[in-house]
Structure 1
Amino acid sequence: MLLIFAMITVVECSSQKDAFFYDREKMVELQLKNRGINNESVLAAFRQVPRHEFVLPDYLKYAYTDNPLPINEGQTISQPYIVAFMTQVLDLRKSDRVLEIGTGSGYQAAILSQLCDSVFTIELFESLNTSATAIFRKLNYNNIYTKVGDGYLGWPEKAPFDAIIVTCSPSHVPEVLTTQLAEGGKMVIPVGGGGIQELVLLQKKNGKIRKKDILPVRFVPMLNDSGKKY
């Protein structure tokens, strides 16, 4: 009887794993841990959040590959490593309130939601906001708050934020975003107008912003509601 019970338990546990469970495990081991992502809470979030829910159907088989993938409106879902790297440098606490500029697919916000108190995410394109919000509801990510708007302006009504993450690239750091950063808070943002930008980490200490260049990256440009680049 004990043997039969044990066999049933194994089958039931296996059935609870979705079809991409082992793809996520492989992603975490090879793409993240092997490249220096060592924050256990961040790794746990990547094991938990189903990236395949955030990609277009035509790219489902590439959901856990080491690549960015196209989504609607000419935007992309970022490479898992870049999402993890940007998340790790923020060093989030469970009590933190985070502002994200550029909801896109919603994957970055979903990862953040596992690590902090609340995520406020702004998307310029209404269609992307609608699809991401639907996924958040489907997956019961109830601490993510969405808004359609110009991310350059931030979300002043909800400021200050303990962390700000920007997933599109302006030519410069928007001063309005630094004013919405809480004392001691961190912001990570790709900056530059060319094909390659610099990922920049900023921290507010004693009311002053300290800036550090950390990684060359490639992101879509930050746009205003007229489609013009910042």
Structure 2
Amino acid sequence: MPYDLKRNRERMVRDQLERRNISDPNVLRAMRAVPRHKFVQDAMRLSAYEDNALPIGYGQTISQPYIVGLMSEALEATEGMSVLEIGTGSGYQAAVLYAMGLKVYSVERIQELHVAAVKLFAELGYVSPQFKLDDGTLGWPEKAPFDRILVTAGGPEIPEPLVEQLSDPGVLVLPVGRAKRTQQLVRIRKNNGDITIEKLANVAFVDLVGAHGW
């Protein structure tokens, strides 16, 4: 490519994350390390480090870098924690979580995206994340509980199976909204059986499809 990929990643982190108050050093380090251009379609690679969501096929998108950074930081995760991601997509968010030192489990409902992500992770040498093709709104009960859960699609309600599969204490971050493509990004904390919900930002995600989604 006719440009410096490492320099573009550094610029992405500086201009899109640090200048917008993303400060978790583990998140910043991970996003400097993961080659985002590998997770977009070939025709989109020149735009991989710009501040935009990009299409990845099948009506899905890879979130803009700022949103990936915001959601990753909102997890308040520390190295070694287990994290369930709902909506593998191209695998970029899962790769960031992996680079943060987390034990990653990721569920995708679209077979073509699932297969492509598994293949790409193998090519990149990311060997420990586990992937599943299934309805993500049901979570991954066989692997539960999870210290952290992250949902990368927006549904009309908080999926109850995900709350049930969250460790106590634990944190769940997801977009929720009654109108499609218009949601509130919220952080849910479970602590001693109590559930609290904190609104973080207005966002626009693709639809969360499944038994507990659209």
If the TM-score is normalised by the length of the shorter chain, which range does it land in? over 0.9
* 2:184 aligned partner: 198
Amino acid at match of 2:37: H
* 1:59 aligned partner: 44
* 1:103 aligned partner: 88
Q: CA offsets per residue over residues 183-222 of structure 1, 9 Å max, x none? A: 1110000001323100010010001211111110000011
Deviation of the 1:146 alpha carbon: 0.3
* 1:78 aligned partner: 63
Between stretches 156-165 and 89-98, larger displacement belongs to 89-98
1:33-182 matched pairs, under 5 angstroms: 33-182=18-167
Cα distance in 2, alignment partners of residues 229 and 109 from structure 1 = 21
Between stretches 111-120 and 154-163, larger displacement belongs to 111-120
**Maintained 8 Å contact 1:169/1:193:** no
Amino acid at match of 2:62: I
Deviation of the 1:229 alpha carbon: 5.2
Between stretches 84-93 and 113-122, larger displacement belongs to 113-122
Helix, strand or coil: the match of 2:208? coil
Deviation of the 1:94 alpha carbon: 1.0
**Maintained 8 Å contact 2:107/2:131:** yes
1:28 to 2:28 alignment: no
**Maintained 8 Å contact 2:172/2:188:** yes
TM-score (norm 1): 0.89
5+ residue gaps, structure 1, are 1-17
Cα distance in 2, alignment partners of residues 65 and 112 from structure 1 = 20
Q: CA offsets per residue over residues 109-140 of structure 1, 9 Å max, x none? A: 00000123310000000100011111111111
Cα distance in 1, alignment partners of residues 161 and 25 from structure 2 = 33
Cα distance in 1, alignment partners of residues 101 and 167 from structure 2 = 15
Cα distance in 2, alignment partners of residues 219 and 142 from structure 1 = 28
Q: Tell me which of 156, 172, 186 is aligned to 1:187.
A: 172
**Maintained 8 Å contact 2:159/2:213:** no
* 1:12 aligned partner: none
Cα distance in 2, alignment partners of residues 155 and 73 from structure 1 = 23
Q: CA RMSD in A?
A: 1.4
**Percent of paired sites with the same residue:** 45
Cα distance in 2, alignment partners of residues 157 and 116 from structure 1 = 22
Helix, strand or coil: the match of 1:70? strand
* 2:209 aligned partner: 223
- Which has the bigger relative contact order, CA under 8 A and spacing at least 6? 2
Q: CA offsets per residue over residues 37-59 of structure 1, 9 Å max, x none? A: 11111101011000000000110
Cα distance in 1, alignment partners of residues 77 and 90 from structure 2 = 21
5+ residue gaps, structure 2, are none
